[in-house]
Amino acid sequence: MDYLPEIDLSNVATPSYTPAFSLEKDAGFHTADLNLMDIEISEADFLKYTSANDASPGTMIALLNARVIDSLYPDRDKKIMGSYIINARPMLGASITHHNCVSTVFLDYSDKIRNMPFDRQCTVYRGKTFIQSDSERVAGAMTFSANRNRLMLDSAPTLAEKYDVFARSLSGGRLLFTYMVSYVGKWKYKAVEEYISEFWTHVPSANALLTEVAAVGGRIFLTVHQRFEEDIIIQSLLDELKRNGISYKVHKHIPADNAHFPSP
């Protein structure tokens, strides 16, 4: 993002977003330290299910999250909004960069979508992902973000002030989404695939509910991250998999285990 062009933000309207339904603030879940559940599912079972309903693995997990939350909390004043994380490297012409380079697709679960047949809901989520992954759209959004970040850095002269301004920005951003889903994608390097016994994606910072998805060796590996005590969402998701004939195995349920890097 450091190489994206500078733009005059005074001529760019700041997007306006409404806070989404929050599992902590609106469903009354009890905030806790980040904990993880690693779940292995059969790729053959899951792809049969997604293909039959016009979904990709990532959009299917996103839709199942939305449907589970909607079924548990149907009477809401706020909308369920999902964040589907996408790889923005190709859109920025930086396909081999090692830097974290992602954008997000907004997946709302409106009353109109709720009333559609399930396969049509899947099609809508795929369509939203396709439209919001357009190169010009992503490049424009990332350019805006890069310039906003520069402005925030310049407005905070000390390190403590920089921490504060970015912390407030991140906290505000988390209010936009009820849940997040990130799909690493299917493993591409066949020569070493047989040597990979497990592939878990654990992240140190997450929304209240985040599901990381990876696929390798005929299996799909889900890691559900949550910052609340209640297990009702994850148990409902597992029930949904079972109900649709998708076998799964829970490997472990642990506190976050990422390495800690203290500030300089």
Residue with tokens 């285990």: 257
Q: Is 195 helix (H, G, I), strand (E, B) or coil?
A: coil
- Where are the alpha helices (H) located in the chain, listed in sequence order? 43-52, 57-72, 111-114, 118-132, 135-155, 159-174, 190-193, 232-243
Q: What is the pLDDT of residue 216?
A: 95
Buried b (16+ CB within 10 A) or exposed e, 51-89: eebbbbbbbbbbbbbbbbbbeebeeeeeebbbbbbbbbb
Residues contacting residue 253 through CB under 8 Å, at least 6 positions apart: 35, 36, 37, 38
Owner of token pair 């090692």? 98
* Rg, C-alpha atoms of the chain: 19
> What pLDDT, in 10s, does the model give residues 50-69?
999 999 999 999 999 999 99
User: Which of helix, strand or coil describes residue 181?
Assistant: strand
pLDDT band of residue 118 (cuts 50, 70, 90) is very high
> What is the pLDDT at residue 174?
84
Q: What is the pLDDT of residue 17?
A: 80
Least confident of 127-136, 159-168, 226-235: 159-168
